[in-house]
């Protein structure tokens, strides 16, 4: 039994995945320490609203502490806390933003990740789990995507930093014995999602009667994974970490691919409005298709995604209408 003073650390706790994971862990009885720098890459008010939502949902029988701070100073921020496990979600996100702001990705995703590794390697942690991305697979032509496929041709600097994270974690295991699991997330969507991601961008465009840009002439497919399934996948790794001794990275996805145009159609149905579509060529840094093989995670933990795209889209739209009062 863990002492009351001991915490699981979630970096990026005010982020989309971070908020949902914190709430899930608190409701399961864990004590959670959150770290987030609340940067202005997107609207800070949404991040603060997520923190308020954690307070409203956390329950009474566990401890929740939030620290506003940067991961590059992680050791200083956590000097007074007893941390026994880390889920590292903090990162500079966004594929296209990395094309114009490379320095932000180096500072957060490389230098910051290094500081987190140093912090974790200096302690005898029960587990270290960190966020990777399906973008590491690049412009793959073999599906579904398996963890043992080559990841040496990224399409963006963001993807390159995630590949570097996986390499850095592997080297730290060899040199310092730090066991870790990198989690390759596939197209996460759902309530409280990021405003720079397709679900929010598309919904805003439809609701406001604005042109919805559909890239690659609509010939795009994604393994849309609902946020609840993502969090279930992370917690399944946390609770079975001893089974991952020989597993460095793992996919978390729905396990099949959906057409982007079908996702837009579901949005139209649940919003009750038609989109004004404009077909556009492929964007730099983007990929045509993603589709995760999730058999490795299933075999190690029993993980099974539950939410299909149509159901998940309705849940997202219901939240959107409530949050935006429309």
Taking the chain (326 residues) in consecutive chunks of 10 residues, what is each chunk's mean pLDDT? 75 98 96 97 96 93 94 96 97 86 95 98 95 95 94 92 98 96 98 95 96 86 97 98 97 96 96 94 82 98 97 98 94
Q: Give residue 256's pLDDT.
A: 96
**Is 261 domain-assigned?**
no
Domain containing 248 — which CATH number?
Answer: 3.40.50.720
Under 8 Å between Cβ of 6 and 83: yes
Q: Within its chain, how far is the Cα of 42 from the centroid?
A: 15
Q: Give residue 2's pLDDT.
A: 54
Q: Give residue 314's pLDDT.
A: 98
**Is 115 domain-assigned?**
yes
Q: Give residue 4's pLDDT.
A: 55
Return the H-helix or E-strand segment holding 87: strand 82-88
Q: Within its chain, how far is the Cα of 190 from the centroid?
A: 12
**Is 42 domain-assigned?**
yes
Domain span at residue 70?
A: 6-186+227-254+291-307
Q: Within its chain, how far is the Cα of 167 from the centroid?
A: 19
**Is 38 domain-assigned?**
yes
Q: Give residue 154's pLDDT.
A: 92
**Is 104 domain-assigned?**
yes
Query: Distance between CA 105 and CA 112 in Å, rounded?
Result: 9
**Is 221 domain-assigned?**
no
**Is 267 domain-assigned?**
no
Give the active site residue among 158, 266, 270, 320. Answer: 158
Q: Give residue 312's pLDDT.
A: 98
Query: Distance between CA 234 and CA 184 in Å, rounded?
Result: 11
**Is 110 domain-assigned?**
yes
158 an active-site residue?
Answer: yes
Three-class DSSP category at 271: helix
Return the H-helix or E-strand segment holding 280: strand 276-280
Q: Give residue 1's pLDDT.
A: 41
Query: Distance between CA 20 and CA 226 in Å, rounded?
Result: 11
pTM given for the model: 0.96
Distances (CA, A) of 239 to 30, 65, 152: 12, 22, 31
How many distinct structural domains can be found in the chain? 1
Q: Give residue 98's pLDDT.
A: 85
Q: Give residue 97's pLDDT.
A: 84
């Amino acid at each position: 039994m863990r002492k009351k003073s001991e915490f699981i650390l979630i970096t990026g706790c005010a982020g989309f995945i971070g908020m949902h994971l914190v709430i899930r862990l608190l409701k399961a009885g864990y004590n959670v320490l959150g770290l987030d720098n609340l940067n202005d890459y997107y609207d800070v008010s949404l991040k603060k609203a997520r923190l308020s939502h954690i307070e409203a949902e956390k329950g009474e029988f566990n401890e929740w502490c939030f620290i506003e701070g940067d991961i590059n100073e992680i050791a200083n921020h956590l000097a007074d806390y007893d941390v026994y496990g880390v889920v590292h979600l903090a990162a500079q996100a966004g594929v296209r933003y990395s094309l114009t702001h490379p320095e932000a990705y180096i500072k957060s995703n490389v230098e910051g990740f290094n500081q987190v590794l140093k912090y974790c390697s200096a302690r005898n942690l029960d587990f270290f789990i960190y966020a990777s991305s399906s973008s590491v697979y690049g412009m793959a032509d073999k599906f579904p995507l398996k963890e043992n496929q080559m990841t040496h041709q990224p399409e963006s600097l963001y993807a390159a930093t995630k590949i570097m994270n996986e390499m850095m974690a592997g080297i730290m295991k060899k040199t310092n014995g730090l066991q870790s699991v990198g989690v390759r997330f596939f197209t996460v969507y759902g309530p409280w999602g990021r405003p720079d991601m397709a679900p929010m961008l598309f919904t805003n465009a439809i609701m406001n009667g604005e042109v919805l840009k559909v890239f690659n002439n609509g010939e795009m497919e994604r393994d849309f994974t609902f946020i609840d399934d993502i969090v279930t996948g992370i917690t399944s790794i946390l609770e079975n970490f001893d089974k991952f001794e020989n597993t460095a990275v793992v996919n978390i996805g729905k396990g099949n691919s959906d057409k982007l145009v079908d996702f837009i159609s579901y949005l139209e149905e649940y919003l009750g409005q038609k989109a004004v579509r404009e077909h556009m060529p492929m964007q730099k840094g983007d990929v045509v298709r993603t589709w995760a093989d999730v058999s490795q995670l299933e075999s190690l933990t029993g993980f099974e995604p539950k939410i299909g795209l149509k159901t998940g889209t309705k849940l997202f739209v219901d939240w959107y209408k409530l949050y935006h009062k429309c």
